[in-house]
Chains A and B, each alone.
Chain A
Amino acid sequence: MLRACLGAAFLVAVHAGSAWADQDWVPPVTDPATLKECGECHMAFQPAFLPARSWDKMMDTLDDHFGDNASLPADTTAAIRAYLTANAGDVRPQGLARSFMAWVEPGGAPQRLTENPDFRREHRKITAQKLQRSGALSIVNCPACHQGADRGWYDDD
């Protein structure tokens, strides 16, 4: 009986702990090609922030990537697409991915993770002036404020 109680208490504690960690963590990017190619112009964002449909669309339109040409050789594109879709927020709903995916319309393929209501609520106080003044320059420059961003941690406020 005592053992069952302790076990239950342990499970509750673990669950509470992971629920707390869920608020500010996503699985980090581990694929070298993704880290290199996506990380040349901006941080290699974790695939958990968008559903697989979004990543498919993004890898289809690299020649016009938010207005810039970001095209890659076909084999590199395929390898990165495979990694991103296999680890997308709807395929591996871990950590922050769950709250982000809750806002994605069924069948929708959003391209900017900064337009997710969860993201906007967290960053509602970050103005363009603040970004200029701090030297971060852009809202997509995660590591400027979140020191652990490349390891998947977004806990600093």
Chain B
Amino acid sequence: MSALSLISRHPVATWRLWHAGLVGSGLVAYVTADEDTYALHQFSGYLFAVLAVGRLIVAAAPGIRGPWRLPQPGGKAAAPARLTRGAMFQRVRPLMTAVLIGVLLAAGLSGVGADWIHRLEKLHEAVGEATPWVVLAHVAVVVALLARLPQGLRRMATPQRALSALAAAGLLATLMGAAPPARAADPQQALLGVFTERAKAATPGFAGFDPKRGEALFLSRNTANPELPSCASCHTQDPRASGRHAKTGRAIDPMAPSVNRERFTDLAQVDKRLGRDCETVLGRACTPLEQGDFVAFMLSR
């Protein structure tokens, strides 16, 4: 408990240190959320989660003071005679705290969860994308209501003006959030688009892909290669399951993008595998229609 006594003796200094750690680890985790830098992302993410949870534990300790103390829900603030910036901060603080705790904790814990349960990855990504906006809003509130202003500005910055500026910022943030996000379209659908173009060019009377035909091809048993008679020989009958190379025993990740979102994102990789594996299993190249049916089947799983 020496950490707690240190915190209660120097609440502001220890809180600043914690805050710097949280910002630093969060920033590093946000910037390194790529596959190439996964180890760093993992490390800073765990640090972030530990700091976030640790802060709540400290807040729950008896006799904690200063910035470590969380605003008590339901605590009645005496209505101030004059609406100063400080008083407004006291009013906004419970809401700000609730949002910060909710989003930051969700970001940290969903990351830890995604490390163990693959399915949580999408949730973690969504929360991670929302986090910078919450942090920016937090910064805006703190700067608007707590920052010490230069003498000249102080006279101009009346609470009413601060309030309208805050409302405008909120409106702007809402508009930006509601605007269509400028992210790449679904990579799997883009890849399917390429296969559609190819099939259109090569197939007279092309009328779209059929996942059912793709499934039939995936499960078909062929005679070209007795050791590898079917796609399912290595990938199992269920594309969502992990497979295993029938000749070498090498583990194969699931093929369906619903459980493995890396799949069908890289055209060169898909072309390479389809080119090889059609030759190996069927003893011939697949037509553009067969390839598209196959991809459509995988995307439907």
Taking beta carbons and an 8 Å cutoff, which residues of A are in contact with B? 39-43, 66-73, 131, 135-138, 140-141, 144
Q: In the A-B complex, list the 8 residue pairs whose CB atoms are closest, starting with the nearest.
A: A137-B249, A141-B249, A42-B248, A69-B279, A138-B249, A69-B276, A68-B280, A42-B250
Q: Is the CB of B280 within 8 A of A138?
A: no
Most chain-A CB neighbours within 10 Å: which of B227, B245, B268?
A: B245
Quick one: given A41-B245, A68-B228, are A141 and B250 in contact (CB under 8 Å)?
yes
Quick one: given A67-B227, A68-B228, are A140 and B248 in contact (CB under 8 Å)?
yes
CA distance A68 to B225 in the complex (A): 9
CA distance A141 to B252 in the complex (A): 13
Query: What A residues does B249 contact at CB under 8 A?
Result: 131, 135-138, 140-141, 144
Query: What A residues does B244 contact at CB under 8 A?
Result: 137
Asked if B247 is at the interface of the complex by the 8 Å CB criterion, the answer is yes
Instruction: Name the distance in Å between A49's Cβ and chain B's nearest Cβ.
Output: 15
Quick one: given A69-B280, A70-B276, A72-B272, are A138 and B225 in contact (CB under 8 Å)?
no
Instruction: Name the distance in Å between A82's Cβ and chain B's nearest Cβ.
Output: 20
CA distance A68 to B272 in the complex (A): 13
Instruction: Name the distance in Å between A131's Cβ and chain B's nearest Cβ.
Output: 8
CA distance A69 to B249 in the complex (A): 17
* A-facing residues in B192-250 (Cβ within 8 Å): 225, 227-228, 244-250
CA distance A39 to B276 in the complex (A): 15
Q: Is the CB of B245 within 8 A of A67?
A: no
CA distance A41 to B279 in the complex (A): 15
Quick one: given A67-B227, A72-B272, A137-B244, are A43 and B250 in contact (CB under 8 Å)?
yes
CA distance A67 to B228 in the complex (A): 10
Q: Is the CB of B225 within 8 A of A41?
A: no
Taking beta carbons and an 8 Å cutoff, which residues of B are in contact with A? 225, 227-228, 244-250, 268, 272, 275-277, 279-280
Query: What A residues does B248 contact at CB under 8 A?
Result: 41-43, 137-138, 140-141
Query: What A residues does B246 contact at CB under 8 A?
Result: 137
Instruction: Name the distance in Å between B214's Cβ and chain A's nearest Cβ.
Output: 21
CA distance A39 to B225 in the complex (A): 22
CA distance A43 to B245 in the complex (A): 11
Chain A to chain B contacts (Cβ below 8 Å), 16 pairs: A39-B250, A42-B245, A42-B250, A68-B280, A69-B276, A69-B277, A69-B279, A70-B276, A131-B249, A137-B248, A138-B247, A138-B248, A138-B249, A141-B248, A141-B249, A141-B250
Instruction: Pick from B225, B272, B276, B277: contact of A67, CB below 8 A.
Output: B225
CA distance A43 to B252 in the complex (A): 11
Residue of B nearest to A72 (CB): B272
Query: What A residues does B247 contact at CB under 8 A?
Result: 41, 66, 68, 138
Residue of A nearest to B234 (CB): A41
Instruction: Name the distance in Å between A67's Cβ and chain B's nearest Cβ.
Output: 7
Query: What A residues does B275 contact at CB under 8 A?
Result: 69, 71
Instruction: Name the distance in Å between A112's Cβ and chain B's nearest Cβ.
Output: 12
Instruction: Name the distance in Å between B226's Cβ and chain A's nearest Cβ.
Output: 10
Kindly list 9 other residue pairs between chains A and B, CB separation below 8 angstroms, not including A42-B245, A131-B249, A137-B249. A39-B250, A42-B248, A67-B227, A68-B225, A69-B280, A73-B268, A137-B244, A141-B248, A144-B249
Query: What A residues does B245 contact at CB under 8 A?
Result: 41-42
Query: What B residues does A68 contact at CB under 8 A?
Result: 225, 228, 247, 276, 280
Residue of A nearest to B246 (CB): A137
Query: What A residues does B276 contact at CB under 8 A?
Result: 68-71
Instruction: Name the distance in Å between A127's Cβ and chain B's nearest Cβ.
Output: 15
Query: What B residues does A136 contact at CB under 8 A?
Result: 249
Residue of B nearest to A70 (CB): B276
Instruction: Name the distance in Å between A155's Cβ and chain B's nearest Cβ.
Output: 20
Instruction: Name the distance in Å between A81's Cβ and chain B's nearest Cβ.
Output: 17
Instruction: Name the distance in Å between B15's Cβ and chain A's nearest Cβ.
Output: 44
Instruction: Name the distance in Å between A109's Cβ and chain B's nearest Cβ.
Output: 21
CA distance A73 to B273 in the complex (A): 12
Instruction: Name the distance in Å between B289's Cβ and chain A's nearest Cβ.
Output: 21
